[in-house]
Copies of this chain bind each other. A is one copy, B any other.
Amino acid sequence: MSDKVTITDVARKAGVSLSTVSNLLNGRSKRMRPSTEQRILEAIEELGYTPNQAARQLKTGQSAIIGLIVPSVANPFYGIFARHVESAALKLGYQVLLGNSDRDPEREFKYAEELWGYGVRGLIFGSSLFQLSHFDNLISRGLHVVAFERPTQEADGNRVDSVGIDNYLAARLATKHLLSLGHKRIGFLSGPIQTVSRLDRLSGYQSALRDADIQSDPELIWDVSPSENSYGDADAVDLGRQGTQELLSRLNPPTAIFAINDMFAFGAYAGAKDMGLRIPTDLSVVGVDDITLTEIVQPSLTTVRQPIEKIATMAVNRLVARLEGKFDEEQDHQILPPQLIVRSSTTQPPK
C-alpha cells in the first residue's frame, strides 16, 4: 500500500485520463459510459483514494471548512453549541475548525487570520464583544461572519449577520417572574459586563424593575472588571459564588438573584450555602441558557431557555448560504424568543 494515492493513480488503474476521474468526482458524469464509471469507482475503492483537499483548495480558492470562535468550550453552554454547529455543518458538507478565545480580541484576530490561511471564508462568532473591527481587513477581503449571542451593531458596518435570542426580553422575563413572586430586592449577578448580551440583559432587568416602580439600586448589581484571564467564561461558577457572597454581605441584601447565565446561577447556589442560606427558601435564583444539569441540580434551576440547537443550525445555514452565493441580501438578524422555564429555585421572599 503506497503512502499516497492521487487522482493520477486512479486514472491509470481505470484506464482513463485523470480529467475523466475528476469529471466523475465533480458531478460531470453525464457524458460517461456506465462501464467507464464503474471502472473508476472500483479503482477508487481498491486504492482507497481520498481527494487532497489542499489541491482542491488551491485551485478553487476555498475549502469546505467554517470557523467557530467561542469564549471557551469548557463552559457547557459553548460545548453544547459547538456540538450542534458541527452537526449542522457536516450535514452541509463542511468541517468545523474551533477556536477558544476567552473573548480576547487579539486572540480572535489571530485565529481568524490563521483560519483564513486554511481557506476558511466563513466564521461563526460568539464572544459578544461590541467591536468586530479586528476582523475588518478580512471582511473586506470576503470573510463572511455570523455572530450569535448579540444582534448586529452599528459599528459592524452592515457586514455581519447574526442569530440569537432577545437578551433584553430574557432578562425581563426572569426579573418579572421574581417580581411576581413578591421580591423587591433583586440582585443582578454578572461577570465582566462589557459585552452586548450582558448589557442587554442588564437593561432588561432594569426595565422590569421600572415597570414595577422599583428603583434600580447599584448595591444590588455585581460585576467585576475583565481580568487578564477572562470574562469569566471558564470560571463562571467561582465568580458566581464570590459575587453572591458579596451581595449577601451588603447592608440590605437581595432576596432573589438574576444570574447572567446558568453557570453563574450554580455559583450563586454555592455562595448562598456558604452564607448559610437555603435556595429558594432564603434566596431565589434564576439563570439563563437552560444547559444540561439545570433539571438535576438541587433545587432544579428556574432559567430562561435559549434554543441552542436552533440557533446553531440557523447560524450554520446562514453562513453556508452566504458562502455558496445563495444569500446575497444585506446583513440579516434573526431573533429567537427566549422562554421562561420555572422550576424549583424560585419562591416567595422570606418574611
Contact = CB atoms under 8 A, between A and B. Distances in A.
Interface in A251-306: 266-267, 269-270, 273, 292-293, 295-298
Interface string A100-123: 100000000000011111110000
Interface stretch (A17-25, A48-56, A185-193, A214-222): A48-56
Interface of A: 1-4, 48, 50-58, 61, 63, 65, 72-76, 78-80, 82-83, 86-87, 95-100, 113-119, 137, 140-142, 234, 237, 241, 266-267, 269-270, 273, 292-293, 295-298
Contact of A1 (B48, B140, B292): B140
Contacts of A75: 79
Given A241-B296, A296-B269, A79 B73 contact: yes
B292 A270 contact: no
Contacts of A86: 73, 98-100
A237 B95 contact: no
B296 A118 contact: no
13 contacts: A50-B113, A52-B119, A54-B63, A63-B118, A65-B118, A73-B83, A74-B82, A74-B292, A76-B79, A237-B295, A241-B296, A267-B296, A270-B295
A83 B100 contact: yes
B50 A58 contact: no
Copies in the complex: 2
Contacts of A266: 293, 296
A264 to B, nearest CB: 11
Given A50-B113, A79-B79, 16 more contacts: A4-B141, A50-B116, A51-B117, A53-B117, A53-B118, A54-B55, A54-B56, A54-B57, A54-B119, A63-B118, A65-B118, A75-B79, A82-B98, A83-B234, A237-B296, A270-B295
Contacts of A267: 296
Contacts of A297: 297-298
A292 B237 contact: yes
Given A141-B1, A266-B296, A292-B237, A119 B53 contact: yes
Nearest to A118: B53
A58 B52 contact: yes
